[in-house]
A and B are shown apart, each in its own frame.
Chain A
Amino acid sequence: MNIALNITQTFQDWLVGFMPEGAASITAMVIVAVIYLMIFAVAGLYLVLLERRVAAWFQLRLGPNRVGFQGLLQTMADALKLVSKELTGTDRADKFLYNLAPYFVIITSLMALGIFPFTQGFQAFDINIGIFFLIAISSIGVIGILLAGWSSNNKFALIGAMRSGVQTISYELSIGLSLLTMVLLTGSLQLSEIVETQKHGWLIVQGHVPAIIAFMIYMIAGTAETNRAPFDMVEAESELGAGFHTEYSGMKFAYFFLAEFINMFIIACIATTVFFGAWLSPFGITESLPWLGVFWFLLKALILVFLMMWFRWTFPRLRIDQLLSLEWKYLLPINLINIMLMAFLVWQKLTIQF
């Protein structure tokens, strides 16, 4: 297998010291999986808290600040409450698909989380098709939402699921094309190599005008892809109850809820990796301390997450026809022209490199 320097390898080398090789590789995989699962849960919970505090700040309220210091344990308490809740369901739902649906959503976002280079060497799977793998994985997540909507045997849930399907399929095009624009600059799909090319300046600087256009399109499409406001047609409260997860309760609801926040984090992580130099520090100020890469990566990702929260509490919700005409009549043509512009820049060597 073609796996470059990464944490799986490090663990495996350490474990080979006191157990046979086959057992060591399996144990290493399990340990890495557990680490990512923990990152997943903790990041999800704290993103929920962040969202609530940011929302409160935008609306001139205080937000949750009682449980723990400044409300830091609030979402932990909420999670415990959700675990203890009864799991209810509709009578004539398709039980098998109904229970399967949350796992589709969770597993796809967990798989996507595994390939980000959080810092040099801190990457579970450095696959050579990196970005393409991310796009492939994200196209499966929507199946979970469609299933959840249909198998609940509820009209509102079904309408929510249909909207989600239409929306995700349309906006996936924009995400793919805007990332493709940046791939023209890097010449590689592998995430570690994309970071490597950015040592001569972040891609958003290297590609200047078309890169900024691509970034704007990417953020719009990314917000739509995660079904967040102003594109949350899927769970528009005023029309559909809670959309596709109307019939879910307790932990099953929490899976959808956490996956939504993790997906937002993943969109921010992709943007960080492709546009803002992943774990590279600005102007290389901390180049001698590779472990600070985690700090820079998370800082950039959280700023982008904050941007998406800002969108959510600023813009009113779109109608479904506006949503679709935005994608097909505006974003897609702009994107295609943008790719040609970027190809022209790369051909004429008009990129900025330090």
Chain B
Amino acid sequence: MERIIFYIIAFIIIVFAMASVSSRKMLRSVIYLLFVLCGIAGIYFLIDYNFLAAIQLTVYAGGIIVLIIFSVLLVHHIEMELEMAKPLRKILTALLCMLGLGVFLYTIYNNHFNVVDNQVTTTTADIGSKLLSYDAGGFILPFEVVSVLLLAAMVGAIVIAKGKKLTDNNDTEL
């Protein structure tokens, strides 16, 4: 049963990944990309890792895809189509893709995977206590570093977006 579902999801992911790069309409390829990301979330659900699946849905499907759709909506008209690449370029890209795929398959088939018989569902409580633990195997330092980084990014974004007003008008108006 789970094997069948896995193959269905894998098939969906591969088909839509190819459709996404080969579609000539920009928004359609974004939607195909959305299906790919949802398929990956489906695989996380299948291995019973619900938290990561929900993260995948919120961050990638709900966040990044919506941002991409927004930018497409702003710049793209419905009748525009992406132009076809030159034949030489197509062949070159195809060769590079085949090479990359070959390297991947070679590593996957030659790597010995450690099969762990894991029946435990990771709960959010486990993840939370690991994130904030000081002991060995805890993630408090990266957690704090990432939060400072995000804060810096947010302040930077606001400064760039507000730009002029912050520097020029402060003295005169206030």
Binding site for B on A (CB under 8 A): 1-2, 22, 25, 92-94, 96-97, 100, 127-129, 132-133, 135-137, 139-140, 142-143, 146-147, 149-151, 153, 158, 161-162, 165, 169, 187-189
Check A136–B62 contact: CB distance below 8 A. Answer: yes
- Of B53-61, B85-93, B99-107, the one contacting chain A is B53-61
Interface check B132, CB cutoff 8 A: no
On whether the beta carbons of B124 and A189 are closer than 8 Å, the reply is yes
Residues of B contacting A: mostly: helix
Interface status of B152 (Cβ within 8 A of chain A): no
- Do B34 and A150 touch (CB < 8 A)? no
What is the CA–CA distance of A100 and B16 in the complex, to the nearest angstrom?
A: 15
- Say how far A143's CB is from chain B's closest CB, in angstroms: 6
Given contacts A128-B121, A136-B57, A136-B58, contact A92 B78 (CB under 8 A): yes
Top 5 A-B residue pairs of the complex, sorted by shortest distance between their CB atoms: A139-B62, A136-B57, A136-B54, A136-B58, A2-B121
Report B's interface with A, CB cutoff 8 A: 1, 25, 27-28, 31, 34, 48, 50-51, 54-55, 57-58, 61-63, 65-66, 69-70, 72-73, 78-79, 121, 123-125
Q: Which of B1, B63, B72, B125 contacts A188 (CB 8 A)?
A: B125
Q: Determine if A129 and B78 form an interchain contact, defined as CB atoms under 8 angstroms apart.
A: no
CA distance A187 to B79 in the complex (A): 51
Cα(A133)–Cα(B70), bound, Å: 24
**Given contacts A129-B124, A137-B57, A189-B124, could you give 19 more A-B pairs where the C-beta distance is less than 8 Å?**
A2-B48, A93-B78, A97-B27, A128-B124, A129-B51, A136-B57, A136-B62, A139-B57, A139-B58, A139-B62, A139-B63, A140-B57, A140-B62, A142-B62, A143-B61, A143-B66, A147-B27, A147-B31, A150-B69
Q: Is the CB of B73 within 8 A of A146?
A: yes
Residues of A within 8 Å of B31, CB to CB, are 97, 100, 147
Q: Are B123 and A128 in contact (CB under 8 A)?
A: yes
Q: Is the CB of A1 within 8 A of B48?
A: yes
Listed by A's residue number, 7 A-B pairs whose Cβ atoms lie within 8 Å are: A2-B48, A94-B25, A128-B123, A132-B124, A140-B61, A143-B62, A158-B73
A162 to B71, CA, bound (A): 11
Q: Which residue of A lies closest to B74 (CB)?
A: A162
